[in-house]
Amino acid sequence: MPARIDPERRRELVVDAAFRLVVAEGMPGVSLRKVAAEAGLNIGSVRHYFEGHEDLLAAAARESGERMGRRLARHPAEGLAGFSGEFAVEALRELVEQVLPVDGERRAEAVVVTELILASRTRPVFAPVAAQMAADLHEVLREALAVLGHPGPDAGARQISALVGGLTLDAITPHGALGPGQVRETLEDALRLLLGVPRQS
């Protein structure tokens, strides 16, 4: 059966299985045996591509961070140049929604990222990735606000970052009360306030 498999593909397949487990059972649900079962592999195979448990988690964290980086890079801050008023709000909203759980795919990624961030509090493996993701988000937001001519883009970026974290936490949790619609709405309200663009009535 060892049909000259591409090791990178295999690793991706395993990491994806780990993601599914995080979504389904949370970070503690990610065990080597469960990951192997979820990926349709034997535990021996998984351990052939990953040194051990810690290594797998580190790889998954790295992948998660890269996905978030890719999402953020998709809408570079320079693209916001020249926008103002209603258009600025809309453009900024689209940027921020890249990392909010407004659809299935983004929801799954948001779950993984949030579990990772909280776990980074007690598991050193996750700390670097968590810090990098926070820094990346802050930087993108800061640049975007600067391009839009916002005074104090640093403080503004901190506000939006906090809002993103809170909205995500509320949306992925079964408080239930916060669906994608209300997430969008709350985000838009905050951005309007921040950019000084009154709501269109």
Residue numbers at the binding site for a copy of itself (CB under 8 A): 24-29, 111, 114-115, 117-123, 127, 130-131, 134-135, 138, 155, 158-159, 161-170, 172-178, 182, 185-186, 189-190, 193-194
Task: Give whole-number Cα distances, 68 to 13, 113, 185, in Å.
Answer: 18, 9, 22
52 binds DNA (CB under 7 A): yes
- Buried b / exposed e over 40-63, threshold 16 CB at 10 Å, is ebeeebbbebbeeeeebbbbbbeb
- The least distance separating a copy of itself from the CB of residue 76, rounded to whole angstroms, comes to 23
Radius of gyration over every alpha carbon of the chain, rounded to an integer in angstroms? 19
The count of chain residues that interact with DNA, using the rule CB under 7 A, is: 23
Q: Judge contact between 65 and 133, C-beta under 8 A.
A: yes
Q: Position 143: which residue type?
A: E
- The least distance separating a copy of itself from the CB of residue 122, rounded to whole angstroms, comes to 4
Both structure tokens of 157: 């970026």
74 binds DNA (CB under 7 A): no
- The least distance separating a copy of itself from the CB of residue 11, rounded to whole angstroms, comes to 25
Task: Give whole-number Cα distances, 20 to 23, 25, 32, 108, in Å.
Answer: 5, 9, 13, 8
The candidate with the shortest Cα–Cα distance to 20, out of 8, 6, 37, 38, is 38
Stretch that binds DNA, among 36-44, 82-90, 130-138, 151-159 (CB under 7 A): 36-44
Contact partner at residue 53 from DNA, a copy of itself, none, CB < 5 to 8 Å by partner kind: DNA
Of 100-119, binders to DNA (CB under 7 A) are: none
Contact partner at residue 52 from DNA, a copy of itself, none, CB < 5 to 8 Å by partner kind: DNA
Return the DSSP state at 51: S
Nearest to DNA of 51, 94 (CB atom): 51
The candidate with the shortest Cα–Cα distance to 133, out of 147, 112, 153, is 112
44 binds DNA (CB under 7 A): yes
- The least distance separating a copy of itself from the CB of residue 16, rounded to whole angstroms, comes to 19
Interaction site with DNA (CB under 7 A) = 1-5, 7, 10, 30-34, 41-45, 47-49, 52-54
